[in-house]
Structure 1
């Protein structure tokens, strides 16, 4: 049940969040706050005390971590039903408070540039498997990587991709890479030819597409989009005017908007690609083992290239990715990979084989996906009323800003509040006009309480655009 507790702050020197902590603890000591009492929502208490929601969120976080309060997702924050462990007295207390403050400061600054995976046991499993590889490396530690030595890892990738609608493929079709970006470069190198090749991309797209193209001195042509993805007529017009050799796309989970390209639109784009002999490179790194539509490799087996990695569902630290070429093009892709780096390091190959065939791996992946969904749903609840695009099983949100905010200014204001997000400008070509929007990746590496506090600070900015930018 709720409480009619009416706090007051000691407005002496020192951080305001510490004054909120003292007020809550005082309420508990005097009996004004009893075990099980529900505290006011962050925004309500901030309004009552005339301070920022971020200040209240910091106080709630510290008291939750110390055991004084209990936070329950979807219900609120309560006075803990069990008394917290008594805090040390004397000089030691200062050290404890300093430690808590440092921990809180780490969580107060929440990085939402890229998704941070929730910890669901991956780290422990990887450490265990690394120890096994160190003791008995199947591939040895004194030899170059080889196709034969990497076969167990490729077979493990085939198992990992079970259910992904890609048509026929086997372990011999898998080319391992140092992450998804490296796989993208390998595919580009295997395809591009001539003096002035062009790569077609979505007008809003993952910046890595452009960077990979620039490294290979290819022209980058952005294509107009609608709610279903790239407009076929825009693709055909670009193909008429450029030596378009690659169409690079993320149809399953569009980055940055989280959009989805229906099968009918994919088939229209395949028709254009066949007409102008354009290869289709599909970046599928954000498909979290949830199938909605066939890949381009299934729809156009003669020209569909498939790229993915383990970064978004297990860990980005290992840099394990893979590419699958269309029918008949595997030798080209394999040759580029071997000329590029000879292959992955043998201990990494052995780890990949063990990791992707481990009995716990499917459960870990599912728990990671569900962990992301909890954070996404929480952000959507807080940002209700604003123009937010989101989907279950996608670890980021796309926020179209209200009148009064431009993307660059909003990102700067957010960073001043300890929240780092990406402007739409990062997802368009240099000379293109960007929408007034931002991408907010889920950071499940911090507590849900800290993440919610960060989203609340963004909500505060949205509710109060600066006067000089308002309309």
Structure 2
């Protein structure tokens, strides 16, 4: 392969990594490459084809997942033979068993390991064996081409409208994406942002860092009330509205289409930017997002934290039309973009053939825990959704939220009070958010739900009666 050219990809359609993979496949089919032949290093082939090393690495990864190539740590990448392709899954993904512990945290969603830990370890090894030159330079936009292409495919389950991979910006998780968007939007000495009256607390924290004022917008069972949004946007000259239309945390609400359209119309009339937070969704979106309804004013963010792992701290941000340069500059000036090894790793991880299967298995496993929670607590005022890794529980008469959280902690259970999601001076409902913890066994999770139900069955005023 060192002396054989695989051809020219300049006239080929589609992503460049796919064109490289097709040329290598053709070379094998035509006999130019035989079983056991070693392919050139990623950087050498990238130089020959005048493309980025990341693009070649993505092509190698795709062909390795298909069993066409095989990668050997420390030796390189080789053409596989029929024996190498016999197994349906070229690289086994090992599941680690759930942990047993006396204390069960229901504070934030915890994912099951369905093979992603093994996939991450494997990918880390591959990146560690990549060209050393990549580990001596600052991150560059070109070096992460394959990662952005993989991320754009990852986001294809959301109804966003066209997403150009070149305009997608990587962030260090969803919270970093929130901060970046606010940096791009907010202007003046004391800007104002609007949030749902019960909302993700990270919106407020990011706003406080930027010296912005946060104003809550009243909600009903269908989400934010458009008339209230209009009134507050006008009164405060608000610049940004932060919302989660697909999965609202903590209430599990899903904003219906007519309400989204009304909210988009208010934002259009008031010149209000929308930050659409899509970090909690486990499955495909059911309705068009604000980026489709209001493409010139919507900033979209997502992450891999609830689908693969929160440990890597990888998120995505997509700017409105015409604002992608502003977003990219904010990321470059703030942290130069993702580190080169992390970008390379994400490109391989999300671009692998096993990525979709891992996500599907995570979703299936989480649903098992959700069913246990619903079966155990469903007789109470519980809001839930099979695609949402938490529950919203309104407490029965006799319980105050602070007392219930303390009683749950005494039982070895950590849950979140409604107060965590509201403004400090707001009146909040007596409700709690209970997250799915799929890191413990299903039996341990069921036991945790039973402990909560026993508390609900006996509020303090009834104990001893």
The answer, yes or no, to whether TM exceeds 0.5 is yes
Distance 2:294 2:199 in 1: 22
Larger deviation: 232-241 or 396-405? Answer: 232-241
Instruction: Give the conservation status (yes or no) of the 8 Å contact 1:405–1:470.
Output: no
From 120, 123, 126, the equivalent of 2:114 is 120
**TM alignment of 1:161-310, pairs within 5 A:** 161-310=155-304
Q: Report the CA distance shift for 1:207/1:469 in structure 2 as closer, same or farther (over 3 A).
A: farther
SS at match of 2:316: strand
Normalising by structure 1, we get a TM-score of 0.76
Aligned residue pairs, count: 369
Q: CA deviation at 1:383?
A: 1.0
Aligned position for 1:73: none
Aligned position for 1:387: 381
- Quick check: 1:335 aligned with 2:332? no
Q: CA deviation at 1:417?
A: 0.1
Aligned position for 1:129: 123
Q: Which runs of 5+ in 1 are unaligned?
A: 1-102
From 429, 432, 441, the equivalent of 1:447 is 441
Q: CA deviation at 1:348?
A: 0.4
CA RMSD, Structure 1 to Structure 2 (Å): 1.8
Distance 2:133 2:252 in 1: 40
Aligned position for 2:139: 145
SS at match of 1:439: strand
- Quick check: 1:356 aligned with 2:347? no
Instruction: Give the conservation status (yes or no) of the 8 Å contact 1:302–1:326.
Output: yes
Normalising by structure 2, we get a TM-score of 0.77
Q: Report the CA distance shift for 1:469/1:137 in structure 2 as closer, same or farther (over 3 A).
A: farther
Aligned position for 2:403: 409
Q: CA deviation at 1:216?
A: 0.6
Q: Report the CA distance shift for 1:105/1:290 in structure 2 as closer, same or farther (over 3 A).
A: closer
Instruction: Give the conservation status (yes or no) of the 8 Å contact 1:198–1:220.
Output: yes
Distance 2:139 2:261 in 1: 39
Q: Deviations for 1:122-157, whole angstroms, at most 9, x for unmatched residues?
A: 000110010000001587101110111111111110
Q: Deviations for 1:175-232, whole angstroms, at most 9, x for unmatched residues?
A: 0000000011001100111122110000000000110111111010000001110001
Distance 1:378 1:467 in 2: 28
Q: Report the CA distance shift for 1:139/1:123 in structure 2 as closer, same or farther (over 3 A).
A: farther
Distance 2:208 2:403 in 1: 28
Instruction: Give the conservation status (yes or no) of the 8 Å contact 2:98–2:439.
Output: no
Distance 2:342 2:440 in 1: 28
Q: Report the CA distance shift for 1:135/1:415 in structure 2 as closer, same or farther (over 3 A).
A: same
**TM alignment of 1:38-187, pairs within 5 A:** 107-137=101-131, 140-187=134-181
Distance 1:470 1:214 in 2: 46
Q: CA deviation at 1:347?
A: 0.6
Q: Report the CA distance shift for 1:191/1:467 in structure 2 as closer, same or farther (over 3 A).
A: same
Q: Which runs of 5+ in 2 are unaligned?
A: 1-96
Aligned position for 1:312: 306
Distance 2:271 2:130 in 1: 48
Instruction: Give the conservation status (yes or no) of the 8 Å contact 1:404–1:470.
Output: no
Aligned position for 1:365: 359
Name segments (4+ residues, structure 1) moved above 4 Å: 103-106, 468-471
